[in-house]
Amino acid sequence: MKPFDSLRWLLILGILSGAALAWGAQNVRAASVPQKLIYNGHLLDANGSAVATPQTIRFSLWSSVDLLSGEVTSTGAIHTASPNYVGWKDAFTVTPDARGYFSVELGSSVPLPDFGTLPAATLMSLFLQVEVKPDASPATSYEILDSNGADTAIDRSALLSVPFALNADLLDQRHVGTESGSIPVLLSGGLLDVDQVPGGTNRNAFTIDSDNSVVEGNITLEFGAALDRTLTYDVTNGRFRFNDDLLVDGNLTVTGLINGVDLSQITSSSDNSHLKVASGAGLTITVARGDYRLGGVVTQYPGATGIAVTDNATNYVFFSSGGLKLSTSGFPTDSAIIPVGTVVSAGGAITSVADRRVFNANDSQRSIVKVYEPMYEGAAYMGDGSSNVGQLSVSHSGATLKNFYQWTSTRSTLQDYAILLRVPLSADFVRWGTVYPLSLLYRTSSNDAASNVLGLSVFDSAGAEVALTGSGTTGLQSADWVNASWGFGGNPTWTAGGEMLIKVTLAAKDDASVQIGPLTIRTSELLSE
């Protein structure tokens, strides 16, 4: 075949290349942009005569301008494993008109690559290779349309920009970035990157949940990802909640209730007489009216006069669960009280009155440690309906002086059984222990979880499963006795006077066994006499 007119071909290719890059830039921003290119060609032979017979024209994209050895195989095929191949090729059979003109749609049969996914280095060095052969000839007959016949190192045409493609580097003359006037880029979930959140605003309002999509639950403003301090509005209960201490440097005005108490209804005289002790006639005192709380119970004390004190002694005046009390041996230390004052008397008269009011409420607490020894009080035993063949027994370890449950099975597949412990919560329940509230002593006959393993689940007072923290909840095994401990995550419901449920699942096979000993629960309760 005679060589083709490469000068004319280069002119047509240059027009196509600009269109291709313009389409590539717009494709990232708008899915409605056509994903095809019109390629118009004028095919002449070396004598300048039009070629009007059927021809096969092959197009391919490369990252190098030079056609290197091995990029076309010995059979005439494109070597798609070549490092310079950009992943797209297509061939068209055309019959140019009498003047040698033809037109094809690149991407009509083999989709063009998504230019938006190509690396920037590839986009800046992208070349189109065009080859032609008579339609009936074998692939080895392809001839490359050399874009620069005078330079053997230039065989392909670069995809260049046209004015509108250059403008596609911007959006309305703006760059992407964090500088003034730049366009921010949204992260996954439609969120702004932390670096792109402005440090200030000229608006006099900043609205969270501006679309009113949160109708129940929480709307949260978080301070520091690791610090995890939040200001939350509880939509369900209609109130704000801080998850840390609050310091108010100025005045605090409250128009509603504080802990259910209407402050506007608490009145006292100008001398701050709320529950205050004052000297009466002779060996008597007066205690002003006021409210106090002990053990979670609020008492509205009406005030009293003519209260007798002991002569020649220091009288300690306080409130306990039994009401106003006096003692000459000091304030009690073994029960919850509210100290009010000390009254010193001598010679039939009161010589001094000292105000000892520190708190008008006392919610002292005590720590409760409850240990359940096998067999657990209030426990039930059940299988889940499949693979529950084995033996559950209670035994004693003389070496460790421990009672323990033991589950074992001779089956060749893992068999499991569950111990369900119902735990009542005291009517004075306040919270769980500050250390891990739940711990369990256990061991397995080996460290192989496939042969013997322990699992644990906890359900709150509402029957919902609780997210556990600490030693893990599944796949527990240890050939030595180990004390596993757990805390309660999430927002479980714990009702004073209610209950919780602990489910311990034991699984074993091939004569292996799981042993569990004492289960310990730690709570804090209100202290009462």
Residues shown for the chain: 529
Q: Give phi and psi for 11, each to the nearest 5.
A: -60, -45
Task: Check if the beta carbon of residue 503 is closer than 8 Å to that of residue 420.
Answer: yes
- Nearest of 160, 159, 161, 148 to residue 67 by alpha carbon: 148
Please name the residue that has the structure tokens 């392909």. 156
514 contacts 507 by C-beta, under 8 angstroms: yes
Tokens of 186: 């949204």
Three-state SS for 165? Answer: helix
Q: How far apart are CA 49 and CA 251, in angstroms?
A: 96
Q: Which helix or strand (DSSP H or E) is residue 262 part of?
A: strand 261-262
494: CB partners within 8 A, 6+ apart: 425, 429, 431, 432, 460, 461, 500
Structural contact between residues 22 and 162, judged by C-beta atoms closer than 8 angstroms: yes
Q: Are strands 143-144 and 379-382 parallel, antiparallel or unpaired?
A: unpaired
Residue 283 in tokens: 């060996």
- Number of Cβ within a 10 Å radius of residue 356: 16
Domains and CATH numbers, the chain: 6-167 (2.60.40), 211-248 (no CATH), 277-362 (no CATH), 367-526 (2.60.120.200)
Report the SS3 class of residue 337.
coil
Q: What is the predicted pLDDT for the residue at 24?
A: 36
CA angle centred on 48, ends 97 and 46, rounded to 5°: 110
Mean pLDDT in order along the chain per 10 residues (529 residues): 38 39 37 69 89 95 91 93 93 95 92 80 86 93 83 83 56 73 79 66 72 87 88 89 87 72 50 78 90 84 93 95 91 79 92 81 77 92 94 85 92 96 91 87 94 95 93 87 92 91 96 95 80
Q: Tell me how far apart the alpha carbons of residues 80 and 92 are, in angstroms, rounded to a whole number.
A: 18
Spatial neighbors of 86 by CB under 8 A, at least 6 apart, are 61, 62, 63, 113, 118, 122, 126
User: Nearest Cα to 419, choosing from 449, 360, 376, 453?
Assistant: 376
Indicate the pTM of the whole model: 0.38
Cβ burial of 498 (10 Å; 0-12, 13-18, 19+) is middle
Q: Would you state the pLDDT for residue 270?
A: 42
Task: Give yes or no for a contact between 415 and 387, defined as CB atoms under 8 angstroms apart.
Answer: yes
> Rounded to whole angstroms, what are the CA distances from 214 to 37, 206, 208, 219, 228?
47, 17, 10, 7, 21
Distance (Å, whole) CA 404 – CA 444: 12
- Closest C-alpha to 287, from 274, 271, 272, 300: 274
Task: For residues 289 and 456, give the distance between their C-alpha atoms in angstroms, rounded to a whole number.
Answer: 53
Q: Which two tokens stand for residue 160?
A: 């260049």
